[in-house]
Structure 1
Amino acid sequence: MEKVVIDGSESEVVVGDAHSLQNKISAIRTSGSSKLQVIADFDGTLTKYWINGHRGQSSHSLLQQDDPEYNMKKQKLAEYYHPLEFNPAIPLDEKTKLMEEWWGKTHDLLIEGGLTYDAIRNSVANANIAFRDGVVEFFELLEERNVPVLIFSAGLADIIEEVLRQKLRRSFKNIRVVSNRMVFDENGHLLRFKGKTIHVLNKNEHALDMAEPLHEQFGEEDDKGIMINDEEESALKQRTNVLLLGDHTGDLRMSDGLNYETRISVGFINHNVEASLDGYKKAFDVLYLNDASMHGVVKLASHLCST
């Protein structure tokens, strides 16, 4: 096992099998960046776990409705279901049903409580949420190399996209959010949710959705706005190498269903490092400890995209 301190900081990187990692890096570099895609979890992966000594909010928890009664109801649901999510005594099939209940009830409350997009915008503006240092550089590098980034979350797509807009203050044409998406009326009031509910235990079931072409996000246009990239070249299914980022071992399943050739998995252990290290070390190719920055991942991605 390799364990070194990065840039003299408290953050550390752990590589369980350096030989295996080097082989994967070589394979991805040989294939070129045109064959690479990035799949990333959002909360606790792209975002910081700790902010000024306080636990950072998730994209779900930061949302505040205009009606305090519904905020209280959502909080009570979280207090009941959250411990069940991590209860090892509950069988997986039963736990999956419980998570479906939790997400369904929460979404119903958002509709019943009259959630508006203005409330989302205000919630994000007042939230204790921030991206890891280096995330902008990471996105800029991947956009420059035309590498698509799929942010895969059991949260709320509209909130994640608003966090990206407000906190990064710029947009990236190569980023797509795969998450629970809302439908609003012309006045900005929530009407319903689109598609199947994505929760913490079924994220992998939606991996095949990622294989759709993303011309509008990272294809090139002519002067009339017509895509000029060949469809097969710009389809994600042709990108057979994956750089996957997550903060739970379950995030590794985000690539289930993808017909990839080589995958490098990067894990973040944000707290309880000693208790989690052995299990995470076996699961991930590279680990960053103690709520580390994204700078090490930027260096890795730059190396993968170099020829």
Structure 2
Amino acid sequence: MNYRLGLHSIIGISYTSGRYLPPSKTRSSSVWFAKRSFRAKTGMEKAVESKFSEAMMVVVDDPQSLENKKAAIRDAGPGKLQVIVDFDATLTKYWVNGRRGQSSHNLLQQSNPEYDTKRHQLFEYYHPLEFSPTIPIEEKAKLMEEWWGKTHALLIEGGLTYDDIKKSVANATLEFRDGVVELFTYLEKRDVPVLIFSAGLGDIIEEVLRQKLHKSFKNVKIVSNRMIFDHDGHLVSFRGKTIHVLNKNEHAIDVAAPLHDQFGGIDSSTDDSDSVKKRTNVLLLGDHLGDLGMSDGLNYENRITVGFLNNDDGNSLEIYRKAFDFVYLNDAPMWGVVKLVAEIC
């Protein structure tokens, strides 16, 4: 079965054919991959040219279907488009300076390390259950609710403060993919909402955006678990329904919140939930097959899905290329997605 690289159609570059041979049943398949041969036409394309990695590859399973989706979204205009994006290992890099980048979950360090140990023990118990193929989905959802509830209770009991969050983020091994700022900026100028979905902690994600991007975006909302702090900065409770890995979808949109006032005071400039729900064209970005469910609950007309296969185990490419419209390999930068939104907007 032939794979075809759709990169030349995304960013208007010429490409050179080559062969990619993962150590699996896809060994007999061919993959087209881009080399650094660009024909830049605009300032943004020049930025792509200067940043794009030679090692990045992208796989497209059905180019014609993809072109049809792109044309339909482009014809409807930016006013009908929304972007739904996972946070960990999608907006952020999988590898940072040769080390596995931290997630918004595991970067958190409480002042009392005993509670970090207790949270890790919960992870050791529940994480295998999350991926168990024998547990029915209804039972698994209850287990995830239980896990999140116990973890949140430990954060409160352990006296987590907002200063703990700030220090944890400052010391974290975490970086955004190259091109994320440009993607957010391009979408902001066209009033396209960006929903960052996460089963983690929205306040941590917000602090990561604040410290790592140093810029606010009026079109960005975070759909995640939100903390409530007292006047002394101590965590006292969580707001609303718990969002975990099995209910991280547009059913949770009502708890979406714009970036905190400290980040720019942008509440009044952000689309409300009803307005977002009326945007029936979706660009979805994720690094996990489960991220495809983030648009569940939305009655969309057209959806383009982008999957980041950051660390192929030799068996995932075949599955990912069937599940996503685009599959970016090798912990790729965000430049291809920047060019995609430029094309469909």
- TM-score normalised over the length of structure 2: 0.81
Moved more, 210-219 or 266-275: 210-219
CA–CA separation in structure 2 for the residues paired with 1:215 and 1:100:
29
Aligned pairs for 1:207-246 (under 5 A) are 207-209=252-254, 216-218=268-270, 235-246=275-286
- Tell me, yes or no, if structure 1 residue 250 matches structure 2 residue 302: no
CA–CA separation in structure 1 for the residues paired with 2:106 and 2:297:
29
CA–CA separation in structure 1 for the residues paired with 2:120 and 2:138:
24
- Structure 1 unmatched runs, 5+: 220-230
Contact 1:63–1:123, Cα closer than 8 Å, also in 2: yes
> RMSD in angstroms over aligned alpha carbons?
2.1
**Residue matched to 1:280:** 320
Aligned pairs for 1:57-76 (under 5 A) are 57-76=102-121
CA–CA separation in structure 2 for the residues paired with 1:238 and 1:97:
31
Q: Do the aligned partners of residues 62 and 267 (structure 1) sit closer, same or farther apart at CA in structure 2, a change above 3 Å counting? A: same
**Residue matched to 1:2:** 4
Runs of 4+ in 1 over 6 A off after TM superposition: 210-215
Aligned pairs for 1:92-111 (under 5 A) are 92-111=137-156
Letter in 1 for 2:102: Q
- Structure 2 unmatched runs, 5+: 6-31, 37-53, 259-265
**Residue matched to 2:77:** 32
Among 216, 229, 233, the alignment partner of 1:188 is 233
Letter in 1 for 2:217: F
Q: Secondary structure at the match of 2:341?
A: helix
Aligned pairs for 1:267-306 (under 5 A) are 267-272=307-312, 274-305=314-345
Q: CA deviation at 1:273?
A: 5.1
Letter in 2 for 1:146: D
CA–CA separation in structure 2 for the residues paired with 1:277 and 1:76:
32
CA–CA separation in structure 2 for the residues paired with 1:272 and 1:278:
10
Letter in 1 for 2:83: V
**Residue matched to 1:91:** 136
Letter in 1 for 2:180: V
CA–CA separation in structure 1 for the residues paired with 2:131 and 2:279:
34
Contact 2:221–2:256, Cα closer than 8 Å, also in 1: no
Contact 1:39–1:244, Cα closer than 8 Å, also in 2: yes
**Residue matched to 2:204:** 159
- Tell me, yes or no, if structure 1 residue 262 matches structure 2 residue 302: yes
CA–CA separation in structure 1 for the residues paired with 2:56 and 2:134:
33
CA–CA separation in structure 1 for the residues paired with 2:155 and 2:163:
13
Moved more, 89-98 or 149-158: 89-98
Contact 2:227–2:238, Cα closer than 8 Å, also in 1: yes
Moved more, 144-153 or 95-104: 95-104
Moved more, 169-178 or 200-209: 200-209
Deviations 1:169-217 (A, max 9, x none): 1111100000000000111100100111111111136355389999724
Q: Do the aligned partners of residues 212 and 190 (structure 1) sit closer, same or farther apart at CA in structure 2, a change above 3 Å counting? A: closer
Letter in 2 for 1:272: D
Contact 1:211–1:258, Cα closer than 8 Å, also in 2: no
Among 173, 184, 204, the alignment partner of 1:139 is 184
Q: CA deviation at 1:94?
A: 2.1
Q: Secondary structure at the match of 2:125?
A: helix
CA–CA separation in structure 1 for the residues paired with 2:143 and 2:230:
30
Contact 1:57–1:128, Cα closer than 8 Å, also in 2: yes
CA–CA separation in structure 1 for the residues paired with 2:61 and 2:121:
41
Among 120, 123, 140, the alignment partner of 1:78 is 123
Q: Do the aligned partners of residues 62 and 150 (structure 1) sit closer, same or farther apart at CA in structure 2, a change above 3 Å counting? A: same
Q: Secondary structure at the match of 2:315?
A: helix
Identical amino acids, percent of aligned pairs: 66
Q: Which has the higher relative contact order, 1 or 2, with Cα contacts under 8 A spaced 6 or more apart?
A: 1
**Residue matched to 1:228:** none
- TM-score normalised over the length of structure 1: 0.90
Q: Do the aligned partners of residues 216 and 236 (structure 1) sit closer, same or farther apart at CA in structure 2, a change above 3 Å counting? A: same
- Tell me, yes or no, if structure 1 residue 121 matches structure 2 residue 166: yes
Q: CA deviation at 1:7?
A: 4.6
